[in-house]
Structure 1
Amino acid sequence: MKLYAISDLHLAVPANRLALAALPYYLEDWLIVAGDVGEAEDQLHYALSILTRRFAKVIWVPGNHDLWTLPGGNASKLQGDEKYRLLVNICRSYGVITPEDPYPLWPGSSKPTVLAPLFLLYDYSFRPDNVPEAQAVAWAEETDVVCTDEFILHPTPYPSRIAWCHARVAYTEKRLALIPSSHSIVLINHFPLRQEFVRLKRIPRFSLWCGTRKTEDWHTRFPISVVVYGHIHFRATDYRDGVRFEEVSLGYQRDWQQARGIEGYLREILPEPPG
């Protein structure tokens, strides 16, 4: 029995959609889907209709693309938290675990291990100390970098994405604090928890839309053994203070080799692979 993870399936990309349909069966294993399935609800339905038949259990967290409110067409016009709650309800209709559900225990380990899916967003704090918050987006624009979230990821009913992020962080901290210290936690989020893992050589100022400094010390504050995340499209395994950090994104067509199939990019989270 294994726990796998992948993120950033981006099913608006035809090659990604076809590759997902060809994914083999892992009927004894669980899968983490760490955000950015796609931009529309039909893409989430498509993914879950396949993945819930391929795996014994699926755990989902939202990415920023999942929360977009697209103009025109037949897409839902729900915004912000209402859009998020719609996605949660879609997941629940497939029996998929979300950040709003009780955290499950991983049955494949002798030590109690909690799988904790999160939804935290970002607050523009992944920036140099000399850049004021009020000038952060303008600072990114100096290098022609602006995230599409600024136009179609609405924070409704919160006054800003920063306020939404801080509310989600406070909510999550309370839940994590209830987990006994004798347990191990696998933390699952779309965005990285630490700024140092935002590896964006071509567009470094995109870091604004990649997380919050409020989570920098979570891997030591809570009994965390593994952190799973995506968003960066830079697959990596790192260790900090004895905690393993796994960036598990697939990405756009240019980011992966189609000959390997999506199965070639499933990251084994538990049990920890040798080496």
Structure 2
Amino acid sequence: MKLYAISDIHIGHDANREALKALPAYPEDWLILAGDVGETEEQLHFALSELSRRFARLFWVPGNHDLWTLPGRDGRDELRGEAKYQRLVQICREHGALTPEDPYVPWPGDGGQTVIAPLFVLYDYSFRPASVPLDQVVAWAAEQHSVCADEYVLHADPYPSRAAWCAARCDYTERRLQALAPAQSVVLVNHFPLRQQFTRRLQRIPRFAPWCGTTYTEQWHTRYGASVVVYGHLHIRATDYVDGVRFEEVSLGYPRQWRQERGMQGYLREILS
């Protein structure tokens, strides 16, 4: 029995969708989907339908693409912000996938000493140089054509801003993590990296970093007894150790960012066994 993870499968791209359809079955194993499955409810339904037949248990956290609100076919906007997120949670539950709103589940491989904690923590633009004021961060990123599409299609309703939504999610998540037994270790799962240091890999688009997380979570890996932290978003696969904790960036990415002859199975990262 193994726990695998992958993120940023972006099945709106034909090559990624076909790779998902060709994925072999892992009937005894669990899978973490660490965000950015796609941009529509149909894509999430499709991915979860395919994956729930291949894995014994699924975990899902939202990525920024999942939360996008795109114009509907009738010209009206679809659900926005918190309402959109709650709709995605409902879809996951229809397919038996666990979400950041569900109880944390123990990993049976070590007698229940490790729990898997899906998180939904956004970003608040704090991943920026100290010399850049918050109210100038978008203009600063625009100087190098690095403004994230979230500025136009990821809405925070009913919160006044994405940063305010992030703060609310951090408060909510900390309350849940603080309730865990001190002796338990935790696999923390979030779409966005919990530490700013990993955005240094964004060498081609360094000014994209403000849309990649919050400094509020910098010490969560030690504060809450993490054994592994799983994340995506950067599309730069990596394994790192910080304070003895393993950090796994598990992105698949866009078709140009992975070798299609390997199939999606070649990019499943083993987290626990």
TM-score range, shorter chain: over 0.9
- 2:243 pairs, out of 241, 244, 257, with 241
**Correspondence for 1:78:** 79
Q: Where does 1:100-111 land on structure 2 (aligned, <5 Å)?
A: 100-110=101-111
Query: How much has 1:147 moved relative to structure 2?
Result: 0.5
Q: Where does 1:246-257 land on structure 2 (aligned, <5 Å)?
A: 246-257=248-259
Q: Where does 1:100-179 land on structure 2 (aligned, <5 Å)?
A: 100-110=101-111, 112-179=113-180
Query: How much has 1:144 moved relative to structure 2?
Result: 1.4
SS where residue 67 of structure 1 aligns? coil
Deviating more after overlay: 68-77 vs 81-90: 68-77
Which runs of no fewer than 5 residues in structure 1 stay unpaired? Answer: none
- Rounded to whole Å, the distance in 1 between the matches of 2:233 and 2:144 is 20
The structure 1 segments of at least 4 consecutive aligned residues displaced by more than 6 Å after TM superposition are none
Letter in structure 1 aligned against 2:270? E
Query: How much has 1:118 moved relative to structure 2?
Result: 0.3
- Rounded to whole Å, the distance in 2 between the matches of 1:3 and 1:131 is 40
Deviating more after overlay: 230-239 vs 132-141: 132-141
Letter in structure 2 aligned against 1:215? T
SS where residue 65 of structure 1 aligns? coil
Letter in structure 1 aligned against 2:221? H
- Rounded to whole Å, the distance in 1 between the matches of 2:134 and 2:228 is 30
1:125 touches 1:213 (CA, 8 Å); kept in 2?
A: yes
- Rounded to whole Å, the distance in 2 between the matches of 1:76 and 1:38 is 17
**Correspondence for 1:229:** 231
- 1:261 pairs, out of 257, 260, 263, with 263
- Rounded to whole Å, the distance in 2 between the matches of 1:260 and 1:110 is 34
Counting aligned pairs with the same residue, the percent is 67
SS where residue 45 of structure 2 aligns? helix
Query: What whole-Å deviation, never above 9, does each CA across 1:120-166 have from its counterpart, x for those lacking one?
Result: 11000000111111111111111111110000100000000000000
- Rounded to whole Å, the distance in 2 between the matches of 1:5 and 1:136 is 32
Query: How much has 1:71 moved relative to structure 2?
Result: 1.6
Query: How much has 1:220 moved relative to structure 2?
Result: 1.4
Normalised to the residue count of structure 2, the TM-score between the two structures is: 0.98
Query: How much has 1:257 moved relative to structure 2?
Result: 0.3
Which runs of no fewer than 5 residues in structure 2 stay unpaired? Answer: none
1:9 equivalent in alignment to 2:24: no
Aligned residues: 271
RMSD over equivalenced CA pairs, Å: 1.0
SS where residue 66 of structure 1 aligns? coil
Letter in structure 2 aligned against 1:211? G
Letter in structure 2 aligned against 1:118? L
Query: How much has 1:180 moved relative to structure 2?
Result: 1.1
Deviating more after overlay: 1-10 vs 65-74: 65-74
Letter in structure 2 aligned against 1:165? C
Query: What whole-Å deviation, never above 9, does each CA across 1:202-246 have from its counterpart, x for those lacking one?
Result: 100000100000000111111110000000000000000010000
Normalised to the residue count of structure 1, the TM-score between the two structures is: 0.97
Q: Where does 1:30-45 land on structure 2 (aligned, <5 Å)?
A: 30-45=30-45
1:111 touches 1:184 (CA, 8 Å); kept in 2?
A: no
Query: How much has 1:14 moved relative to structure 2?
Result: 0.2
Letter in structure 2 aligned against 1:200? L
- Rounded to whole Å, the distance in 2 between the matches of 1:224 and 1:180 is 12
- Rounded to whole Å, the distance in 2 between the matches of 1:111 and 1:172 is 21
